Every structure is written in C-alpha cells, then in structure tokens.
Amino acid sequence: LNPETHPNCFLHRSDPDDVARVEHLTYVCTADAEDAGPNNNWMKPYDGHAVMDDLFEGCMRGRTVYVVPYLMGPYGSPMARGGVEITDSPYVVVNMRLMARIGERALREIEASGCFVKGLHSTGDLNPERRYIMHFPAEAAIKSFGSGYGGNALLGKKCHALRIASTQARAEGWLAEHMLIVGLEDPAGRVTYVAAAFPSACGKTNLAMLVPPERLSGWKVWTLGDDIAWMHLGEDGRLWAINPEAGFFGVAPGTSSATNHNCMASLGRNTIYTNTAVTADGQPWWEGIDGERPDKLLDWRGNAYSDNSGPAAHPNSRFTVAASQCPVYSSVAEAPEGVPISAILFGGRRAALAPLVYETLDWEHGVFTGAAMASETTAAAAGATGKVRRDPMAMKPFCGYNFADYWQHWLDFGARSSQLPRVFHVNWFRKDADGRFMWPGFGENMRVLEWIVDRCNGGDAAVRTPIGYLPPAGAIDTTGLEMSSADMQQLLAVDASLWQRELDEIESYFEGFGKRMPVALRDQVSRIRSALLQAAEAA
C-alpha cells in the first residue's frame, strides 16, 4: 500500500470463495459423538485423520513449508500455552507474527513446558468441496485444508485458543472464552476489569477500544484484548484473565474515527488488510471509513468499482495489527498473572426482547443468561445474514465439546468460589416501532458501563425484575443525549409476553441436549416463567 500514508502495510486478496469461517466444514473428532455434542459437527478421530491425510498427500509439493512455533498468552505466564503450526501459506505466517508470539522465545517456552498443540495447514487448491478444519481434542491437534481465511488458517486463533483450549480448560478447571477484556478506570483512578462475550461483528472490538463521551471524559478505557480471554481461578477466589492473542483481527467495514477512534489510530502502519477495497493512490478503503467514497477504487476482488458492483470491500474484510499499536493498550496486558475480572457481559443483537442492560440475580442465573444468548447472524460466518440464532456465550462456532457439559463446567465454578464476577446482559441494538436503533451506541456505551462498574463496587441503584436487576430511572446518565425519560423507559422495558415466548424457545433449544442438559438451567426457565406470571398478577 501507499508507503507515505500506510508505511509497511499490505493488502491481501483471498479467493472469492474463501472469505469467512466455514462452520459446516469444521469438525470436532472424538471417540463418542456425545462428547462433541449437537453443537459440533462430529467425526471419529480415525475417520477424520483418514480424510485429512488423503487431502494432504502431496499437497505441498513445490511449495515453501513454514514451521511456526507460537505462544498464546504473555511470556512467562502460567496460563500461556504453546503450539506449532506447519503451513504452506506465507499469508498465515505474517498474520501469525502479529496475532501470536512466535519464534525462538516461543520455542523455548514450548520446550520448557513439554507440551504443545500440533497444527497442520495447507491452502490446498482452495476448492470449497475439498475444505475441512478438523480438531482432535484428545491429541491436542488441528488439521486444516483448503482455506487461507483467518479463522480457518491461523490455527492459534479460534482453533487452538477456543476449540482445543476449551476442552483443556474443562479438564483442568479454567475457562477459554470468546471474550474481550477491558480495564475501566474511573475519575478516581480505580480500575475495574470487565470481560464481554458478543458474537462476531456485534461490537466487541468497538467496546474493547471505546472512547468515553465528553460527558464522561474523566473515565479511561484500557484495552487488553478484543476477542479471546482465558480465565483461571486465583488463590483469592477471583477469576483472573489473560488475552492469549497478541494482535487484533478485526472487521473493517463500519470502522471509522467516529465508531472506533483508537482502532483507526492503531492501523496506520504495520498492518495487513484482507479483502478491503483500495484507492487509486494505494490506500485501503471500506464502507463506513472516514470521508467520501473516492471516484476510483479497486474492489475487494481487484476489479474497477462501479455503483452496481455491490460492496467495494467485502462485508467480512479484515485488518490484522499488533495489539501493542493500540494507543490505549493496557500497561498490564502482558502481565503474566493476568487481571481480576469483576464483571462478565453477555450480549447480542435483539431488536425487541432484551433491555439495554440488566444484571443477573446470581452466578447460576448468569450462566443461564449466557447459555440462552441469541443474536442476528452476520457476515463473519458463511451463510445467510439477518436470521436470529442461539449463540451461547458467543461460543456456538467455537466450543470444542458438548454445550451441555460446557454449561455444567460454568455452573461448577459457583461451588468453587464466592468471589466470582457479576454477570450482566447488554443489548445496544434495540429498535423502536419505526425500526430505528434507540441507543446511540459506540462511545455512549460508557454510560451503561458506568452503571455496571458502580454495581461491581457496591452501588445499590437497581430494581429487581423477573429477568434480573435493571437500572432505576436516572441511574444511567443521559445528559447531552436526545433521549427522554420515556425513551429510557422503553429501552429498559420488559415485555412479559415476549419473554414467555422466548422462554418457550430456550426450553426447546435446551431439550436438544438431552440427558446431559444441566437441571439447574432447566430450573431457571421455570423460575423466570413463574416470576413473570407473579409480576403480571401483582400489576
């Protein structure tokens, strides 16, 4: 790209049929299908290896083979884990250099630990009919063939840091989660650490690098991670988290100085852009970026752009950049011990059901809220957009074992500690009767986070409802927003009839997990249903 405006930045164009994760071709290979669960595609390990070995036969002949030792997590951290990826893709290598800690030091830590995740990858011939991503949890091994796309090919990312790590976490008593990590520093200098799980392209990166609005200019938001968190119980009973990654692999469209100032400030140098458009003078461009669309563009396929070409940048076009380039990268992001998490946020896109924010009643209710998460689909995964799907803890594409066992693993933490984080649900995407978003979002989300931080630090401003604790009138500062008390009342409203229908759908979803489904989560459905009826009778 233009070395004057974007020094050491590069544009990569993928095959037009290789632009997103392929969940229908992603498998977990276990001896028993029940261990993989209905949330995963399953194959026996022997069969999985047979399929992959046949594809790999001779596939790298004539190509350069790269061996990439990498570390997920800060150097010296007892929570960090190593891996080795063998690949024939230079694109994978340069991305891994930004997304993980690679090279000699990583190799030394792997040698010292005596164990690592084994990853084998080839782009193959990029034939969508010959594309598989196979995970072998019992062997801590991954085989990926036929795709060069990030989530399919950067094996340290979703494959290792979530699918394989989640199975290791269950066996060893920790959590590997699809979560951002931020430090929220109040005007007095107190920092409260928060982890948040949203489905891909639902605002994780924007929240991870949030700029507080002028009204809350005394607050600071420190970025530790925008995608994955590994959390262990500390000796003090609190959950301590690290970001296993070293970079950001973010969705470009919609990213601008207005929506994510700190992200844009991270991208001016040493960045890989994938499937964005490019201007005549060699600058990356995408829908939603600052300024007007230039007259001349090459689209993400490399063709001259015209008004009837569709999007200039692919909806799932990406940037890859080292986290250390973020201007608000936390000074403790590389701390080996991690940071103590005070709040866990779950969220998604719900136009009508979920209020702007609510706090769950206890840990068990928090696990239920995460397990019942649902959101509209996005371009980050191949398939139709705009449909609502269940995405528990934002882990539907990433949990490496049966969701029922995964939820029980979460529930078990309740018996292990009384110092666990508070759990909240947020919904930035509620719409009014005209289909317009009711909440301004982006930096203004700090107003909601302020209430969450207050609750974590002993604040009592909350009203109990059947679905959890809601902020009372005036608890969320709306000064400077064009928002009436009636608007806020609507944003925080709980429609009992909608929730009863939602509980029917949740109950039906849970039934799909059969006898392994935790009774405690079934009981939560009954409790909330009963509480809604009692509230209606009292009204």
DSSP string, 363-404: HHHHHHHHHT-EEE--TTBSS-SS-EEE-GGG-TTT--S-HH
202 is an active site residue = yes
Amino acid letter at 19? Answer: V
Q: Alpha-carbon distance 26 to 36, whole Å?
A: 12
Q: pLDDT-derived band of residue 83, with 50, 70 and 90 as boundaries?
A: very high
Name the fold adopted by 17-173. Phosphoenolpyruvate Carboxykinase; domain 1 (3.40.449)
Q: Which pLDDT tens digit goes with each residue over 185-218?
A: 999 999 999 999 998 767 888 999 999 999 999 9
- Residue 36 CB partners (closer than 8 Å, separation 6+): 28, 29, 30, 42, 401, 402
- Residue 537 CB partners (closer than 8 Å, separation 6+): none
Catalytic residue among 29, 159, 202, 326: 202
- Does pLDDT of 263 surpass 60? yes
Q: Alpha-carbon distance 88 to 85, whole Å?
A: 10
Residue 322 main-chain phi, psi, to 5 deg:
-65, 135
Query: Pseudo-torsion of CA 159, 163, 167, 168, nearest 10°?
Result: 40
Q: Is 205 left (phi over 0), alpha (psi -120 to 50) or beta?
A: alpha
Domain 249-324 CATH superfamily:
Phosphoenolpyruvate Carboxykinase, domain 2 (2.170.8.10)
Q: Which pLDDT tens digit goes with each residue over 472-481?
A: 999 999 999 9
pLDDT at 388: 76
Angle between helices 403-416 and 363-371 (to 10 degrees): 160
User: Checking DSSP bridges between strand 277-279 and strand 26-29, what pairing results, if any?
Assistant: unpaired
Amino acid letter at 164? Answer: I
pLDDT at 95: 99
- The pTM for the full model equals 0.96
In CATH terms, is domain 177-248+330-493 a member of 1.10.260.40? no
In terms of Cα–Cα distance, which of 487, 395, 498 is closest to 438? 487
CA 277 to centroid of chain Cα atoms: 25
Q: What is the mean pLDDT of residues 373-388?
A: 69
How is the chain split into domains, by residue range? Answer: 17-173, 177-248+330-493, 249-324, 499-538
Amino acid letter at 396? Answer: K
Q: Alpha-carbon distance 50 to 48, whole Å?
A: 5
Q: Which pLDDT tens digit goes with each residue over 136-180?
A: 999 999 999 999 999 999 999 999 999 999 999 999 999 999 999
Q: Is 157 in contact with 70 (CB distance < 8 Å)? A: no
Q: Which pLDDT tens digit goes with each residue over 451-461?
A: 999 999 999 99
- 355 token code pair: 């209020």
